[in-house]
Each structure stands twice: as C-alpha cells, then as structure tokens.
Chain A
Amino acid sequence: MKKEYEDRADRNEKRLLAAMILIIGLLAFGSRGSDRQGSFGQSNRSTPLRGTVTMAGSTSMESIANALAEGFMNRYPYVMVTVEFTGSSAGIEAALTGSADIGNSSRRLRPEEKAAGAVEYIVALDGIVMITDAENPVRELTKEQLSAIYQGKVRNWREVGGTDRAIVVLGREAGSGTREAFEEYLELEELCDYANELNSTGAVMARVSSTPGAIGYLSWDVLDDMVAVLAIDGVKPTADTIRTGRYGLSRPYVMVTKGGMEEQSEAVKEFFLYMKSGEGEALLKNAGGILVEAVQ
C-alpha cells in the first residue's frame, strides 16, 4: 500500500516535471523564431523543397500575397507559406528583425530602412482608385475637386455636379501606405479631414459600398463591382493608364528582405524565382497586380 502510494506520488511528480519540461521545451523551440530550414539544391531540384516562407505587411497586397502563397504551396507541397497583414511599416520592421522572411510594403523603402539593411524588390505596380457608392451618379472629379472634398471645403455632391447628397469622406489610418501615397499625390500630407479612418483596404470597400454618398480610396487590385470608380481629370484607372503613368495616382508594391537574395533561405529564394516565372506572373496579374519591368 505504501509502495503503491509512493509510486503514484512519484508518477505524479514526474508528470508535473514532464509538463514543465514540455512547456519549457516549447518555449525554447518557439523562440528560435522563423525557421530557416530547407535543403540545398538548384531550382531544378531532385529532393523536394522544404521549409517555410513567412511574409508580413501591407493589407493592400493581401490578394496578391495570398495568391502567390497559395500557388507556391501548390507547386511545393512541403513548404508552408504564412502571410500576416499587419501594415507596410510593420512588415518592413518584421523583415528587419527577422520575425518574417519577407516584408510586404505598398511604399518604397525610406532611407533609414535601407540603412538598416532592408533590400526592396518591386513586384508590381498598383493604382490607387477613388471609389464611391454604386448609386452615386458622379463618375469623374478633377484633382482640385478631390482636394477640396478631402479638406472638407466641399461637403455635398451637388457642388461637384452630383445630386443633393452629403459627402462622407473616408480614408485610411495614419501610417498606411495607401494614405501616404494618396495624400502625397494631392499634396495634402496630414491635412485631410476624414469622417472615418478605417484600418484596412477591405474596410474602406465595405464602408463605401454600404454608405450612400461615401467617397474613399483603395488599391486597384481589390476593386469589385460593389462600388463605382471615379476618373481623375478624365483619366480612368486601368492597367494601361496606370502602367504608362497617365493615371498619376499609383505606387509600387515591394517585397523587402533583410540583406540581398544570397542571404535568404532556399525556400525564400525559390519563392522569388517563382514570382518571376510565367506561372507566378500569371498569378500576380490575375490577382490585380500590374507588372512592370523590374525597376530595382
């Protein structure tokens, strides 16, 4: 009886110990951060590619990042690609600290980010389109009208050739790559008077489509027919006008790594190769990215 009791006590102690070791082990395991495992080999490999590719960054790049991730995983069944949509600046920071392999950014790198070791690759171009709700008859604004609307000087669609309806001015939150590009274009840095500041591309779409009289801006590639597009100074945003620069409101999509390509893991290198391949470019295009000749 006594033996049994002690045995049981022992076992319990061991169980406790085992649980603690497990937890500590998990901690240690996890704290290795993003894994950079992956086998060696050329692009034309004999052993299957293994490892992980972690991306973090811009919400505007959601559709192209998800499409690339899915396509890449279909191609290489032993690779896990994860994408976080934390925002451009946070994505770049994640790449620099190593918590992500690739930072997605919808703006070019700032000098201090380059100085910290970030290297950018432009993967596509994106137009920022002005949208309004589908029932609004207005389909065109001049740059001046847009500027007046976003400064709160014009508050009714009547004043810009529409029906008598209040304008609900929507925009993105401070720090957003889209907002930065938009305000730069209108030369209204931090001067816009927003009625709603929404923290993702999709949220702008949702709000504009559900609010009569709303105006907002978002990425060309996420556009769908729930909302109406506004031409600026008579130019409609299309793949052509954006690529040629006739539609002026555009910015690049960049992917950022810490250090050059030679410092990346096998899986990440392969990911970039995949992006440049015919299959990858087709995916990018389908997801709404506008391809450019590499502007490094």
Chain B
Amino acid sequence: MRKLKDDVLLCLIYLAAFFAEFLLIGILVYVFVKGFPHISLHFLTTVTSVLEGTVGIAGNLVNTIYMVVLTLVIAVPVGIGSAVYLNEYARPGKMVRLIEFTTQTLSGIPSIIFGLFGMVFFGVTLGLGYSILTGAFTLSLMVLPLITRNTQEALKTVPESYRSGAIGMGAGKWYVIRTILLPSAMPGIMTGIVLAVGRILGESAALLFTAGSGYFLPRSLGGWFHKMVESGGTLTIQLYLSMEKAQYDIAFGIAAVLLCMVFCMNLLTGLLSNKLGDTTDGRG
C-alpha cells in the first residue's frame, strides 16, 4: 500500500515535470511552424501598406528598438543609483525598509496599472500624449526593480575588504564606487539589463494606452528625433492588434520573431549568470 502511494506520487511528479517540457516544445513548434513561412526580408524591412496590400513590420522593429533604448537610458542609471545608495550609503533603518518595500511593490504591480498610470501621468499630465517617450517612462518604472535588485545582489558579493582597503588608502566613496564596486558588479548589472530587455520586448498591456500603435517609419532626419514623441507600436502590440484583426500571417510571423529574441535574451542571461558565478567563486 505504501509502495503504491509512493509510486503514484512519483508518477505525478514526473508527469508534472514533463508537462512543462511538452508545453514549451508544443508552443515553440506551433509558433515556428506557423510563423517562419511568413518571415522574409520583405516582411522585416518594409512597413505595411494598405495601398499596395503588402505587410511588413520594419516600423514596429524600429519602435521596439526605440522603446528598449529609451527605457534603458532612463531606468538603468536610476536603478543602479538606487542600488548603490541602498548598499553603500544608507544605514539600515526605516528609510531603507521603505525603499526596499516600494521597490518590491513596484515589481508586483500589474502592467495594466502601469499603463493606466502612464496614460494619465505621462500622457495627460505631462502632455506627452500617445508617444514612444510616454511608453518608455512607463516601462522604466516597471523595470526599475529588476535593475535595482540585480545590482544590489551583485554589490553584496563584492568583498567588504575591497571597500575598507580603498577607503583606508584615502579614496573617496564615489571614487571607490566608480572604480571598484561598479566594475565588479558589472555582470550582475548586465543580468538586470538583459532581464529588463526581455520584459520590454514582451510588454503589451502597459504600452497599449501609452505608446499607441503607429507603424510608419520616420521620414526624415528630423523625423528620427521627432519619432520619440510620436506614437509607435512595438512588435508585441502589433502582434496583439494583428491577432484581433484575424491577420494570422502577420501575427505568427511576429510571434516567431519575438520568440527568437526572447530565446537570445535567455541565452544571454544564462551566460551572464555563469560569469557572475565564476567571479564570485573566484573572490569569495
């Protein structure tokens, strides 16, 4: 009887694990089989034209790049700064607890709420309207905890002796942070950034009401700058919109492109965390 119970439970455990695996393989195969036939140079390098009846996602690709770069430009310095403050400046107390609690809260807020907030705050109050910049500000709040937390973890692994040694030699705190701490924490920071990029690539609910759905390419040199305050739908937004409109070809084409990107991001995270492991092992 006891043996039977053990076997049943063990069976369930194996089933559950293989379920996860099959799910992934199923999703990948389904999306790639349906999506790859639609990916072509033309699909990737042109924008959809109603007049000519062709489809292309170049505009969405460009918007995605804008979104990733702008969000990182805003979020990375702030996130790193926040981690440095928590780890190097602040003394444990109410303030630190408040900051850590809000950072954790921020990572738990669903993206639709960020979308609502971004729409009324960045879009209406600051007057940015539907624009890539509105989306980038909204997303940077969303990815801030990822960068802060990963940087903080990395800073914690830098041995205390580095700090006391440098300070003892008369170096200022800022000098130590700049020349010793941040370089040593680099792999951790990079992990945070890669995770953030993954999050930005996949985001849709927070962008629908903030960045809009424009899909045209900028038309002049000035246009490339002005693009930041124009509406722009990322790949994921276009995927959602195409799906709604029953344009399955575009939808699965984009889905396959997105999965490739996510796959690369995951590989990168893996490599980075290996590297991080190495450095800490070497020093710890």
A73 part of interface (Cβ distance < 8 Å) = yes
| Contact residues in B for A77 (Cβ distance below 8 Å) | 219
Question: Contact between A9 and B175 (Cβ–Cβ < 8 Å)?
Answer: yes
Q: How far is the CA of A241 from the CA of B133 in the complex (A)?
A: 46
A16 to B77 CA separation, bound complex (whole angstroms)? 9
Chain A hits for B90, CB < 8 A = none
Of the residues A29, A70, A84, contact of B231 by C-beta under 8 Å? A84
- Establish whether residues A23 and B74, one from each chain, have CB atoms under 8 Å apart when the complex forms: yes
B239, CB-defined interface residue at 8 Å: no
Q: Spot the interface stretch: B30-38, B121-129, B185-193.
A: B121-129
Flag whether A292 is at the interface (Cβ < 8 A): no
Q: Mark A63-96, 1 if CB is under 8 A from B, else 0.
A: 1001101110110011111111100000000000
Q: Of B73, B134, B230, B244, which is within 8 A of A82 by CB?
A: B230
Interface flag for A295 (CB, 8 Å): no
Q: Bound state CA distance, A37 and B129, in angstroms?
A: 17
The answer to whether A30 and B126 touch across the interface, beta carbons within 8 angstroms, is yes
> 7 A-B contacts, Cβ less than 8 Å apart?
A27-B128, A31-B127, A32-B127, A54-B231, A69-B216, A84-B212, A198-B244
Of A12, A69, A71, A100, which is within 8 A of B178 by CB?
A12
- Tell me the total A-B contact number using a CB cutoff of 8 A: 98
Shortest beta-carbon distance from B133 to chain A in Å:
5
How many A residues have CB within 8 A of the partner chain? Answer: 50
Query: B223 an interface residue at 8 Å Cβ cutoff?
Result: yes
Interface locus among A115-123, A157-165, A201-209 = A201-209
B130 within 8 A of A: yes
Over the window 221-254 of chain A, the binary record of Cβ atoms lying under 8 Å from chain B Cβ atoms (1 yes, 0 no) is 0000010000000000000000000000000000
Given A70-B50, A283-B51, A287-B50; A80-B245 close (CB under 8 Å): no
In the bound complex, how far is the Cα of B131 from the Cα of A226, in angstroms?
Answer: 34
Give the docked Cα–Cα distance between A63 and B48 (Å): 12
Among B50, B220, B244, point to the contact of A66 (Cβ < 8 A).
B50
Taking CB atoms, residues of chain A closer than 8 Å to B126 are 27, 30-31
Q: How many whole Å from B259's CB to the nearest CB in chain A?
A: 22
Q: List A contacts of B123 (CB < 8 A).
A: 99
Q: Which bucket holds chain B's interface residue count?
A: 35 or more
Q: Which of A19, A33, A82, A283 has the most CB of B within 10 A?
A: A82
**A74 CA to B219 CA, complexed, in Å:** 11
B50 and A33 contact, CB distance less than 8 A: no
Please indicate which of the listed interface residues A19, A30, A201, A202 has the most CB atoms of chain B within 10 Å of its own CB: A30
* A56 part of interface (Cβ distance < 8 Å): yes
* Nearest opposing residue in chain B for A202, CB measure: B245
A79 and B243 alpha carbons, distance in the complex (Å): 30
Q: Does A142 contact B (CB under 8 A)?
A: no
B219 near A84: Cβ-Cβ < 8 Å? no
| B62 CB within 8 Å of chain A | no
| A294: interface (CB < 8 Å) | no
Query: Please, which residues of chain A bring their CB within 8 A of the CB of B150?
Result: none
Asked if A105 is at the interface of the complex by the 8 Å CB criterion, the answer is no
Judged by a CB distance under 8 angstroms, whether B202 is at the interface is no
Query: In angstroms, how far is the closest chain B Cβ from the Cβ of A216?
Result: 12
Question: Which of A5, A29, A226, A283 is B246 in contact with, Cβ under 8 Å?
Answer: A226
Chain B positions within 8 Å of A56 at CB level:
130
| Nearest CB in chain A to that of B70: its residue | A26
| Docked complex Cα distance between A71 and B50 (Å) | 9
Docked pose: A21 CA to B144 CA in angstroms:
20
Which positions 5-63 of chain A face chain B at CB distance < 8 Å? 5, 9, 12, 16, 19, 23, 26-27, 29-35, 52, 54, 56, 63
Interface residue A132 (Cβ < 8 Å from any Cβ of B): no
* Chain A residues within 8 Å of B275, by CB: none
Are B230's CB and A80's CB within 8 A?
yes
Q: Does A147 contact B (CB under 8 A)?
A: no
- B128 CB contacts on chain A under 8 angstroms: 27, 30-31
Mask for B200-240, Cβ within 8 A of A = 1, else 0?
A: 00000000000011101011100100101111000000000
Give a binary string over B167-200; 1 marks a CB under 8 Å from any A CB, 0 the rest.
0000000110010000000000000000000000
* A176 sits at the interface (CB 8 A): no
Q: Are A200 and B245 in contact (CB under 8 A)?
A: yes
Quick check: B230 and A203 within 8 Å, CB to CB? Answer: no
B127 and A80 contact, CB distance less than 8 A: no
Which residues of chain A come closer than 8 Å to B74, judged between CB atoms?
23
Inter-chain CA distance A293–B230, complex, in Å, is 34
Asked if A30 and B131 sit within 8 Å, CB to CB, the answer is yes
B244 touches A80 (CB 8 A): no
Task: Assess whether B216 is in contact with A5, with CB atoms less than 8 Å apart.
Answer: no
A29: nearest residue on chain B (CB-CB)? B229
